[in-house]
Amino acid sequence: MIRTKDHKTLNMFDSLDHLGPRRRQLLEQSWAPVFRKEILPELPVEQVAPFYSEQNGAPTKELYAMLGLMLAQQTFDLTDKEAVRQFAFNFECHHALGIGDDSDQSAYVSEKTLWNMRRLLTEHDLYQAMFEIPTKKLAELCGVDPSLQRLDSVRALPNISVCQRTGLFEFLRVHHSLLIFSFFR
């Protein structure tokens, strides 16, 4: 069974009523409200849903929250264990992913569920679509025109010149077998 929430419809009650003014201000200045309002409703749930059955199997985790967690895991470079803990205990993460209560049904995900979702996204090449959405949305919000992006090597030479001879030798020492292998290919 497929579970999704409508994140475009506003809630009747304020989910942040229990927070004092200082914690509320901290939360509103974080990444979570932007993620919840602008990115979460746009995630490609309609591309993931066909891989689940309406009639058979256990209910899925809420798909918007799962895709949001996968995106947050990659963005913040979290391990699976760290992502599970953030999903379970981090209120900022709960707010960003639209998790409304603290029940295990809503606020717990197993590492196996993460593995399965990652496999599904990888096998069906859906990661690209997932990362295009926040990139376009954030560029739009910040007023950045991607067509004006420079594609030359302005930053390459300064970064290369920083690398000293010892750094080059260290790189060659570590990667010499890969270089030799690719040379004789």
Whether 91 and 178 share a structural domain: no
157 and 140 in one domain?
Answer: no
CA gap 126, 149 in Å, rounded: 25
> Do residues 26 and 81 both lie within one domain?
yes
Same domain, 105 and 160: no
Q: Has residue 157 been placed in a domain?
A: yes
CA angle 80, 83, 84 (to 5 degrees): 85
Instruction: Determine what percent of the chain falls in helix, strand and coil, rounding each to the nearest 5.
Output: 65, 0, 35
User: Residue 13 domain-assigned?
Assistant: no
Asked whether residue 36 falls in the same domain as residue 82, the answer is: yes
Say if residue 63 is in the same domain as residue 76. Answer: yes
Task: Say if residue 85 is in the same domain as residue 101.
Answer: yes
In a domain, 2, yes or no: no
16 falls within a domain:
no
8 A C-beta contact, residue 80 and residue 22: no
Q: Are residues 166 and 78 in the same domain?
A: no
What is the tally of structural domains in the chain? 2
The answer on 35 and 121 residing in a single domain is yes
Tokens of 21: 């003014």
Tell me which residue range forms the domain holding 164.
148-183
Per the listing, tokens 């899925």 go with 60
Looking at the structure, tell me whether residues 84 and 39 fall in a common domain: yes
Same domain membership, residue 65 and residue 38: yes
**Domain membership flag for residue 62:** yes
Would you say residue 109 lies in a domain? yes
Q: What is the pLDDT along the chain (185 residues), one digit of tens a residue?
A: 566 666 566 565 566 667 788 988 988 898 888 898 888 988 888 888 888 777 777 667 788 899 999 999 988 999 999 999 999 999 899 999 988 887 888 889 999 999 999 999 999 988 888 888 888 888 888 887 877 766 655 554 455 555 555 555 555 555 544 444 444 44
Handedness of CA 160, 165, 169, 174 (dihedral sign): negative
* Residues 152 and 102 both lie in one domain: no
40 part of a folded domain: yes
